[in-house]
Amino acid sequence: MSDLHRSAISARLAKLPQLPTSYPMEGEEDGDGENDSIGELPNIRPPGSSFAKPKQRQKKTPNPDYAPISAVGYFKQAVEVSVPDVNLNFRVYYTPPRTTDGTVMVCHHGAGYSGLSFACFAKEVVRLTNGECGVLALDARRHGKTTSTTSDEDLSVEVLSKDLIGLVCTIFPDPLSSPTFLLVGHSMGGSVIVRTCPGLLEAKYKVTGVVVLDVVEGSALEALPHMHNLLNSRPDGFDSPEEAIEWHVSTHTIRNPISARISVPSLIVPAESKDELAPAYKWRIPLRSTAPYWENWFLGLSKNFLAARTARLLVLAGTDRLDKELMIGQMQGKFQMNVVPDTGHMLHEDNPDRLADILTEFWRRNERVIIGIKKVGEL
């Protein structure tokens, strides 16, 4: 969370006086203007602002340099998975491993984002492992194209973890014949996957490791009081998907234009406003609406990460200081830590190739461990 923490501190200073059945992906746009290149899907059974807007706001012409890019070629399949136990129809993007006994990296995005944030990363993982590793990325509740059959307001980490366990058990109902899992979570998603790991192990699934991307409990909790000031810098909406993509790239929220052109369209929806001067698109999930859950997401993250009964990896965007628990754990060799320089908080989008290198090496070290040698992070 290093980049987010630095941004929050800057905002504070500014206030001082100065799957089941699946199918290949097809390239076509959805009716709501998003371009994740998914046609109609089968049903599979078992971030607002305080900116004052000018009265005569001129609409921006879409910049073709930031036109959305199809997700075709980044994931092999897109499916809708119905999980009645949690009343959700999940949107899932999936490239299966080449063999049934391979490994699947299960990727959970951060708050406000979607499974498509892992698109470029997924393609590189499959290339590096020659298909031995697959990648499954989901849209969490209230995010992306996952829909609910009832109220889905609760975004607590306990509910999100239950959602993920339900999804995995629905797609892979038999633990004995399922692939091995490497759980990967960015920011909020990092907390979800470390909470999910014990449940999957208890259900007899094979989990080779947990990977947390750019979040440290101490830094995250310190930044929370300043988050509302940070969110004030975000626009209420955009005139087009191109404008949304350009804003993410120009503000360095996402530093990789290719990844932004794939993932950002899933973050917005048509505003359906009768005001001709209002933006045509609004955030799918305004981050300010998730404020009641911020502390819940990160409190206890370090303890749960270190307690995971599998290999552990922490990947940061910068040399963020570790909190006390992680510092002690690192000195005791309880987890591996890597830093990806020249990236921001969205490090898996900013430099997907380097992250794929790190996770592939981590997977090979821990999945193919020699008998008698402990995995990284094992006591």
Tokens matching residue 31: 């009716």
Task: Quote the CA–CA distance of 140 and 181 in Å, as a whole number.
Answer: 18
Contacts of 336 (CB under 8 A, 6+ apart): 311, 312, 313, 314, 362, 376, 377
Nearest to 354 by CA among 325, 320, 315, 301: 315
Within 10 Å of residue 368's Cβ, how many Cβ atoms? Answer: 8
Say what the pLDDT of residue 274 is. Answer: 77
Say what the pLDDT of residue 321 is. Answer: 77
Q: 188-202 and 157-171 helices cross at what angle (nearest 10)?
A: 50
Say what the pLDDT of residue 195 is. Answer: 98
Active-site choice (187, 240, 259, 302): 187
**CATH architecture for the domain at 2-367:** 3-Layer(aba) Sandwich (3.40)
Say what the pLDDT of residue 5 is. Answer: 52
Active-site choice (214, 239, 320, 323): 214
The pTM (predicted TM-score) of the whole model is 0.85
Verify whether residue 178 is a known catalytic residue.
no
pLDDT under 50 in the chain at which residues? 2, 4, 9-18, 21, 23-24, 26-35, 37-45, 47-54, 369-373, 379
Say what the pLDDT of residue 267 is. Answer: 98
Per domain, the residue ranges of the chain are: 2-367
Verify whether residue 32 is a known catalytic residue.
no
Verify whether residue 187 is a known catalytic residue.
yes
Say what the pLDDT of residue 272 is. Answer: 84
Task: Quote the CA–CA distance of 149 and 135 in Å, as a whole number.
Answer: 27
Determine if residue 118 is left, alpha or beta; phi over 0 gives left, psi from -120 to 50 gives alpha, anything else beta.
alpha
